Each structure stands twice: as structure tokens, then as C-alpha cells.
Amino acid sequence: MSAQGAAHIKAICKAAGNDPARLMDIAIAVQKQLGAVSDTAIDLIATHLKIPRVDVDSLVTFYAFFSKTPKGRVIIRLCNDVVDQMNGAAEVAAALETELGIRFGETSPDGAISLEYAPCIGLSDQAPAALINDVPVTHLDSGKARHLAQLLKREGTQARLVKTFGDGNNAHDLIRSMVVNNIRETGPVILAPYTSGSGLKKALALSPAEVIRDIKTSRLRGRGGAGFPTGMKWDFTRQAGGDQRFIICNADEGEPGTFKDRVLMTECPDLIFEGMTIAGYAVGAAEGIFYLRAEYAYLEKFLTAILTQRRKAGQLGQTICGKAGFHFDIRLQMGAGAYVCGEETALISSCEGRRGDPKNRPPFPAQKGYKGCPTSVNNAETLCCVARILECGPGWFAAMGTKGSAGTKLLSISGDCARPGVYEVPFGVKVSDLLKKVGADHTAAIQVGGPSGRMIGPKEFNRIICYDDLSTGGSFILFNKGRNVVDIARQFMDFFVEESCGYCTPCRVGNVLLRNKLVEILAGHGALEDLAYLEELGRTTKLASRCGLGQTSPNPVLSTLENFRPAYEALFKKSRGHEPVLANFDLQAALSQGSILAGRASSIFTPVNGSQP
């Protein structure tokens, strides 16, 4: 490494106070500055932070956005999510490869451009999409891809890539992105007008216990997927001992097909931060962490500016809104490409500057979370609801939705439909009504809740969206007739294989075995008994896995087996009843090597004059 590189690393570590807990920020900065976190860089970081080098290595090799070997100055990350594939990602990929003269996984010889795939980057409603370093490009096709590649080759930077901006704040000076919001339906709670500070002022007029009581009365439940009652979570966090507590906003949004938090951060950042501040007041926290996935780095400057603005307005910092004794501030923590970091304990590990392994429970984060202190992790949408509940009252909120599911839900709609995008709907909407709304006329299957959710068929289209019936983090990926559900399940399993942290046996190994079996079946090498194999393997993986990732990752396989069994059966050849081997076994292919060695065909198994033995 050059002396200059070493000096950069020293400065980066120093700027982070040589604090090992800031290792994420340090590695992100080094990757950005030097194009890699090389072994030498790892040694230097370890020396500056006075920690074992293997601890740095462990973090660097965990996250997809870090690389030990140098990457191109421009990294193209093409999303190869299911929806992107459906919309022609393969043609885009081919065009990029041809135009750049490199393949995926490679860097151009002059070190200018790297080509990679990324799992869902939160733009399924405008697929195919890619990230050019931090800059999202959407609605790609092969022509645009060629143009893009030429421009990048010519200019060597993404700086002048985006010429027209999306709607709303996407055109803001600090975002300037071509991403569009695709807000198709606003609602009374979240995508509604809000005066910054109004919820917070009302909260500060109450005692923290009263705020928690109001949230309980509103019957708000977590919007991140698990649906835990928010008031109860805060209560546990508040009751837990110790004098330091933390609030974390989960904006990792990694579940493929989910992009509603992207829109929230673009259009309602004040609402989120206000919800966090109210949460801080309620649980007695002085610090909040906003965990932003690396794929949304294009929003970082904007969000940072909003935080600064709120500090200036007295809505963050010391003695907030004049409330004596209430001090609270928020720091932004960037992720570095790891779906599992959306899991709350993994997210906490990541915030602590470690690899994103989930933690053992108990203790739960509400008891022992960030740095061992009681911590409440809440989804961005949940926190938006909080601010509105304080503004308009718990009764107002509880009156919307259904008995067990108060309020509204943001849905991320993508796939085969006329109007993909974000919809705010009250809980209780029927799936079939939703399909009409979004302009989906030939839907044969819906992946509800992303890959970790379930794939449902028409017989479940009369179910209603709420915690007690069809519960979901809000993602609906729609598939028309003609889509290959087994291959879709295989793609989802590819995702989980990539994203498993590898800590526990069933998830680390089981998902690979599930995926491999699907590949075999899709290649025509399956047999009927493979279905029982998949079911048992899927059940074992779910039962024995340590965290929510492995406990749900077999769902694409299990739910397609349950609801689309004929699609699997169609992939098996029919046995003719009297064959000596399984119908799918290609006897001649198996014999071919032997025949070459022996210099003759099998006298037993090779048909002579067309007759079968």
C-alpha cells in the first residue's frame, strides 16, 4: 500500500475516534476511498483500533459491499431479483457484458468498471434497476444499458448519469435521483399531510408512561413483519434496568419486493425521526440509531440534512422543544449489504461494529440490546404511525383497520400488474380487491411478504390483509399464468443461500440442499420422492434454525409445494411402468463415459434395432 493509502486509513480511523464500535463506518470509508479493504488495510485498521486483525477480517468478509481485492472505480450492481428477471434483467446483463467487454464478477483491466449482481435493491416497482456506485438507475432495457456502459466508459464516473429526476423529493438537491415514488394510493395515516413537531409536542406534554399507554391503546403493532405490539416493546425496554437505553430505527428493508421504506425516507423523513424522538422520550433513551441499508446510500445526504434541520429547530439535541431533562439525538448508521442485518439482533451486532450475526435470545434487545443496554428496534413505518398517533390520538388510529389490526398498512406492489408501487390501505382489505386496484387481471400466484413469506394461489385470494389472517410486512409480488413457480422458488432459495449468515447448521446447509434439489428437478432430473425430501428438509430447517431467516427461508419451497404441486409434478417424466431405472434417470448419459473407455456400446442396456431391454 502507498504511504498515501496508509495515511488515509489512519485519518479515517482517527475521525472515528479509533473506536472499534465504529468499525462499520471505518470499513465503509476505507472501501470508498481505496476501492478495497485489502489485507494490508485490515492490518492497519487493527493496529489503529488496537483490536485483533481477525476481528476486522471477520467483519470485512461478512458484508457484500466490502472487498479485499480492488474493485473498479465504478461498480455496476445490477439487481437480479425475481421481478427484475421478469422484466428483462438478462437482456440488460448481456448488453452490459458485451458493451464493457467483461463478465459479471469481473473488473475491467484498466480498473475503471466492475460488474456485479445485487439482490433486491428496493426498486422492484421500476425494474430492471441497478446501482452505479450509489446512484440508482431504473427501468433499464438493453438499449439503455448499452448507452449507460458507453457513458461510464467515456467519463469514468457516475456523476453525470442522471439527467431527469423523479417526482417529489427525488428531485431534491441532496438526492437528485431518477427514482420515482410510485405512490399509487395515499391514506389517512402515513402518506398524509403532517406538520413537523405536532406529534412530538403533544407527546412531551404527557409523561413517558402516558405516551406508552397511548401507543398501547392505539393497538399499534410492528410493521416490520413480526407484528409485535409496539407499546409492549417500549414498556419492556423502559422497565429494563440500567441508565442507558437506545432506540433503533430499522431501515434495512432487505426483503425482496419491499420498497415502502424507501418512499417513506424520501417523502416523510420528518415523520420517521419524530417517531424515533417520541420513542426515545417514552423509553428513556438519549440516543437513537437510524440503520440505513447500503443500497439506499443515495438518500444519506438528504437524511443527514433533515437531522441537522431538526437539531436547529430544537427537535433533536438538548432540552428538546424546551422540555427540561429531555435530550435525544440520532445518528445514521450505514449498512454494507447484508439482508440478515434486518433481523434486529443482527442489526444490533452491525451497529456495534461487528459481523452481522444474530445474537442468542434471551436476552431480548428490550433487556440487553445495543452495547448491552435495553434497546427498542422499530421499523420505519411503525415509527411514522407513532408520530401520527400522538398527533391525532390513539382512538383515531384504533378506529381504522380491523379488530386485531389497527390503522393502515403500506404495501409494496410489484410484478405482473399495471400499477406497481406503494399503496396505503386500511387493514382488512381483501386480496382480490387489491388485485383490481393494482390492475392485475391474470394473476395466478402471489408471493406475500417477500421470499420469507408464502406463495399463494387463487384459492386464497379471498383472504384479508391483517395480522390475524394474511399477515405481511407489505410486499406483494404478482405472477401471471405462465410464470414458472418452481423456478421462482429456486431464485428465492438462491437469495437465502447468499444471505444466510452461516452461524447455524440448518440454515447454512439446509438452504443449499433445498436449492440444489430444485436445480436438479428443474433440469429434469427429479423424481417423485424428491417432493417428500424437500418437505422434510424444509420442515427441519425451519424448526431448527436459530433466527427468523432460517425459520422462514424454506417457505418458498414449502408453500409452492402446498399450493402449486402440479407445477412440480409436471417436471417429472412419467414412468412407463416397466423400466429398470427411474424415469428421470438418463441411462445412456450415465453409460456414455464407460462406453468411450470400453470402445463399444453396452451390450445389455444399449438398444439394438430400437428395441428396449
Partner 1 sequence: MSETFDFTLDGATVTAQSGETIMQAADRAGIYIPRLCAHKELHPFGACRICTVLVNGRPQSSCTQPAAPGIVVENDTEALRNVRKSLVEMLFVEGNHYCMFCEKSGLCELQALGYRFGLLAPRYPYQFPKREMDASHPDIFVDRNRCVQCARCVRASRELDHKTVFEFSGRGAHKAIAVNADARLADTDVNGTDRAIDVCPVGCLLRKRYGFRTPIGQRKYDHQPIGSDIEAGHPPAAVNG
Ligand X SMILES: Cc1cc2nc3c(=O)[nH]c(=O)nc-3n(C[C@H](O)[C@H](O)[C@H](O)COP(=O)(O)O)c2cc1C
Residues that bind ligand X (CB under 6 A): 222-226, 228, 250, 252-255, 340, 342-344, 377-379, 382, 547-549
Q: Which stretch binds partner 1 (CB under 8 A): 175-183, 306-314, 504-512, 579-587?
A: 504-512
Residue type, 321: C
Q: How far is the CB of 493 from ligand SF4 (least distance, A)?
A: 13
User: CA torsion sign, 534 to 340 to 349 to 228?
Assistant: negative
Output the nine-digit C-alpha cell for 498: 447468499
Q: Other CB atoms closer than 10 Å to residue 108's CB: what's the count?
A: 17
DSSP state for residue 582 in the 8-state scheme: -
Interface region with partner 1, contact rule CB under 8 A, candidates 80-88, 90-98, 355-363, 408-416 = 355-363
Q: Which stretch binds ligand SF4 (CB under 6 A): 23-31, 322-330, 444-452, 498-506?
A: 498-506
Q: From residue 9, how far is each of 23, 29, 41, 92 by CA, in Å?
A: 12, 9, 7, 37
* H or E stretch covering 43: helix 39-49
Other CB atoms closer than 10 Å to residue 311's CB: what's the count? Answer: 15
Q: Identify residue 28 by its one-letter amino acid code.
A: I
Task: In angstroms, give the least distance from the CB of 407 to ligand X.
Answer: 12
Task: Determine contact, residues 477/513, Cβ cutoff 8 Å.
Answer: no
The option from partner 1, ligand X, ligand SF4, none interacting with 338 (CB < 5 to 8 A, set by class) reads partner 1
Candidate ranges 85-93, 287-295, 369-377, 503-511; the one touching ligand SF4 (CB under 6 A): 503-511
What residue type is assigned to position 304 of the chain?
T
Q: Which of ligand X, partner 1, ligand SF4, none lies near 58, with the C-beta cut-off 5 to 8 A by kind?
A: partner 1
DSSP 342: G
Which residue in the set 18, 21, 39, 146 belongs to the binding site for partner 1 (CB under 8 A)?
39
Give the total of residues touching ligand SF4 (CB under 6 A). Answer: 14
3-state secondary structure of 316: coil
Report how far residue 78's alpha carbon sits from residue 123's, in angstroms, rounded to the nearest whole number: 11
Q: Contacting ligand SF4 (CB under 6 A), which of 114, 277, 500, 560?
A: 500
Report the C-alpha gap between 577 and 417 in whole angstroms.
44
CB 97 within 8 Å of CB 59: no
Binding at 509: pick from ligand X, ligand SF4, partner 1, none (beta carbon under 5-8 Å per type)? partner 1
Q: C-beta of 610: minimal distance to ligand X in Å?
A: 55
311 near ligand SF4, rule: CB under 6 A: no
Residues 369-408 that bind ligand SF4 (CB under 6 A): none
Q: 473: which DSSP letter?
A: S
Tell me whether residue 413 or residue 549 sits nearer to partner 1 (CB atom): 549
Q: Which of 209, 543, 590, 598 is the binder for partner 1 (CB under 8 A)?
A: 543
Q: On the CB side of 575, how many CA atoms lie within 13 Å of its CA?
A: 11
**Site for ligand SF4 contains 358 (CB under 6 A):** yes
CB of 436 to ligand SF4, least distance (A): 37
Q: Should residue 69 be labelled a site residue for partner 1 when binding is judged by CB under 8 A?
A: no
Nearer to partner 1, 472 or 553 (CB): 553
344 is in the binding site of which of ligand SF4, partner 1, ligand X, none (Cβ under 5 to 8 A by kind)? Answer: ligand X
Of 296, 326, 503, 572, the residue at the interface with ligand SF4 (CB under 6 A) is 503
Q: Does 349 bind ligand SF4 (CB under 6 A)?
A: no
Q: Which of 308, 462, 505, 606 binds partner 1 (CB under 8 A)?
A: 505
User: How far is CA 505 from its chain centroid?
Assistant: 22
Contact call for residue 338 and ligand SF4 (CB under 6 A)? no
Single out the residue of 546, 560, 567, 584 in contact with ligand SF4 (rule: CB under 6 A).
546
Size, binding site for partner 1 by CB under 8 A? 39
Question: Least distance (Å) from partner 1 to the CB of residue 507?
Answer: 9
Q: Which does 537 bind (CB under 5 to 8 A by kind): ligand SF4, ligand X, partner 1, none?
A: partner 1
CB contact at 8 A, 145 and 84: no
| 483 exposure class (CB count in 10 Å sphere: 0-12, 13-18, 19+) | middle
Binding ligand SF4 (rule: CB under 6 A), the pick from 119, 280, 426, 550 is 550
Smaller CB separation from ligand X, 57 or 255: 255
The b/e string for 554-591 (b: 16+ C-beta within 10 A; e otherwise) is bbbbbbbbebbeebbeebbeeeeeeeeebebeeeeeeb
- What is the CA 333 to chain-centroid distance, rounded? 16
Nearer to ligand SF4, 443 or 541 (CB): 541
The residue written with cell numbers 398498512 in the block is 409
In order, the DSSP letters of 352-403 are TTS------SSSPTTTS-GGGS-EEEEEHHHHHHHHHHHHH-HHHHHTSB-S
> What does R_g of the chain's alpha carbons equal in angstroms?
26
According to the binding rule CB under 8 A, does residue 500 interact with partner 1? Answer: yes
Q: Which stretch binds partner 1 (CB under 8 A): 155-163, 280-288, 459-467, 506-514?
A: 506-514
State the cell numbers at 40: 494490508
- Please, which residues have CB within 8 angstroms of residue 411's CB and are 6 or more apart in sequence? 260, 422, 423, 424, 425, 434, 465, 472, 474, 475, 476
d(CA 373, CA 549): 24
DSSP-derived secondary structure letter, 129: -
- Rounded to a whole number of angstroms, the minimum distance from the CB of residue 225 to ligand X is 5
What 8-state DSSP symbol labels residue 522? I
- 76 lies in the binding site for ligand SF4 (CB under 6 A): no
* Least distance between ligand X and beta carbon 275 (Å): 10
By CB under 6 A, is residue 549 in contact with ligand SF4? yes
Q: Could you say whether residue 338 binds partner 1 (CB under 8 A)?
A: yes
Contact predicate 236/364, CB 8 Å: yes
Name the binder of 544 from ligand X, partner 1, ligand SF4, none, CB < 5-8 A by kind: partner 1
- 421 or 510, CB closer to ligand SF4? 510
459 vs 562: CA distance, rounded Å: 12
Q: Which of 117, 236, 533, 585 binds partner 1 (CB under 8 A)?
A: 533
Residues lying near partner 1 in the complex (CB under 8 A): 39, 43, 52-55, 57-58, 61-62, 338, 355-356, 360, 362, 497-506, 508-510, 512-513, 516, 533, 536-537, 540, 543-546
Residues lying near ligand SF4 in the complex (CB under 6 A): 340, 358, 500-504, 507-508, 545-547, 549-550
